[in-house]
Structure 1
Amino acid sequence: MCGDAPVGEAEEVVAAVTVVEVPLVEDTLALGRRIGAVLRAGDLVLLSGPLGAGKTVLARGIGAGLGVVGRVSSPTFIIAREHRAGARGVAMVHVDAYRLGGRLDELDDLDLDTELVDAAVVVEWGEDLGERLSSDYLLVRLERRLDDTRVARVEAHGSWLRESRAVHW
């Protein structure tokens, strides 16, 4: 919440953050499955964290939670990979924005705004792309604390807050 509002005035909540410990790969996969289980076509999930933090592992768990067809692997060299819908009926577009190197005009070439109608879109290295693509998104920041504990900071924005879908991560 913003600290600038005078006392007594309502403040607008722009994000809700939940911190989840994910010490093992299995824990990261399980978090991804929980996220994937509540995704629907049109949802946007942005993944952030340093190299080796577990972004692709989390995306694999999201794909499992969605029940997409085929193996979810890193789209680093092709930038975007579409995974067909399975039993739940929601496809997933998995994007790796790392190779775009901040060249957001190339992001426009991917037509992700079109994909946001028909599929859940998961973007690795996508932290700075949220408002550009949609005001409704889930941001997951994977990090390692000083005590070597791995955590995921799950931030709900827009409709994720209004609909209270970001629960029990």
Structure 2
Amino acid sequence: MEAPRNSPAPDPGHAPAPGHVTTAGIAVDAPERMRDLGRELAALLRPGDLVMLTGELGAGKTTLTRGIGEGLGVRGAVTSPTFVIARVHPSLCGGPALVHVDAYRLDGGLDEMEDLDLDVSLPDSVVVVEWGDDKVEELSDARLHVVIERATGDASGTTGTAPEEDERRRVTLTGYGQRWTDGALTALGAAFA
């Protein structure tokens, strides 16, 4: 596991005030652990949170979101919303709904995202956006950006290694804004070891 770290990280989109960036790195060695990470992350999330997920196809974005849904106690199977663009999963336990968005096919940036009314959903829900880079940053100054990368092999996923090594991921969680400066990401990184 990578050691959690608290240091400024570059943000290609909407940059918060200096000092309001927190980063934690986590090593995940199996899809079940990615789902566990999602459940643990759900304990930190609250209504109004925007979570952006970045990673190549098959990296584990939907698996992480499935864990978040389980942790939030929402209704319905969390699956990739690629063809419906967005899916709302209401809470079964009085918590926030999960709005799961796949922005892969949206190339109009924030204009197309505005058609989904995410700004209306955001105050009362946890909004998770796959492929949201350069599309949703303007929705909130306080957001969590999760980058999932293969820990072995090249960008194509061809490794020549054992199948269990192909499942290892490096997960970098970067919280932007005052919302994420309380040390929760660092604690999550340390606890998830």
Q: Per the shorter chain, which TM-score range?
A: 0.7 to 0.9
> Are 1:168 and 2:183 an aligned pair?
no
> Are 1:24 and 2:24 an aligned pair?
no
Alignment TM-score, normalising by the size of structure 1: 0.87
SS at match of 1:128: coil
SS at match of 2:120: helix
- Provide, for residues 10-55 of structure 1, a one-character-per-residue CA deviation record: whole Å limited to 9, x for no partner: x932421111111100110011001112211111111000111010
The farther-off stretch of 128-137 and 107-116 is 128-137
Distance in 2, Cα, partners of 1:165 & 1:35: 10
Q: Which of 28, 34, 44 is 1:38 aligned to?
A: 44
Segments of 4+ in structure 1 off by > 3 A?
146-149, 162-165
Root mean square deviation, CA, Å: 1.9
SS at match of 1:115: helix
1:109 corresponds in structure 2 to 115
> Are 1:98 and 2:96 an aligned pair?
no
- Contact 1:69 1:86 (C-alpha < 8 Å) held by counterparts: yes
> Are 1:128 and 2:147 an aligned pair?
no
Alignment TM-score, normalising by the size of structure 2: 0.76
1:6 corresponds in structure 2 to none
- Contact 1:138 1:160 (C-alpha < 8 Å) held by counterparts: no
- Contact 2:86 2:101 (C-alpha < 8 Å) held by counterparts: yes
- Provide, for residues 55-97 of structure 1, a one-character-per-residue CA deviation record: whole Å limited to 9, x for no partner: 0001100101111111111110010000011214211100000
- Provide, for residues 96-124 of structure 1, a one-character-per-residue CA deviation record: whole Å limited to 9, x for no partner: 00010244311110111111111110000
2:11 corresponds in structure 1 to none
SS at match of 1:156: strand
Letter paired with 2:60: G
Distance in 2, Cα, partners of 1:100 & 1:42: 22
Structure 2: 5+ residue runs without aligned partners? 1-6, 9-16, 154-165
Report deviation, 1:144: 1.1
SS at match of 2:93: coil
1:152 corresponds in structure 2 to 171
Over 3 Å counting, the alpha-carbon distance change for 1:29 and 1:88 in structure 2 is farther
Identity score, percent? 48
- Contact 1:75 1:95 (C-alpha < 8 Å) held by counterparts: yes
SS at match of 1:18: strand
Letter paired with 2:173: V
SS at match of 2:188: coil
The farther-off stretch of 95-104 and 144-153 is 144-153
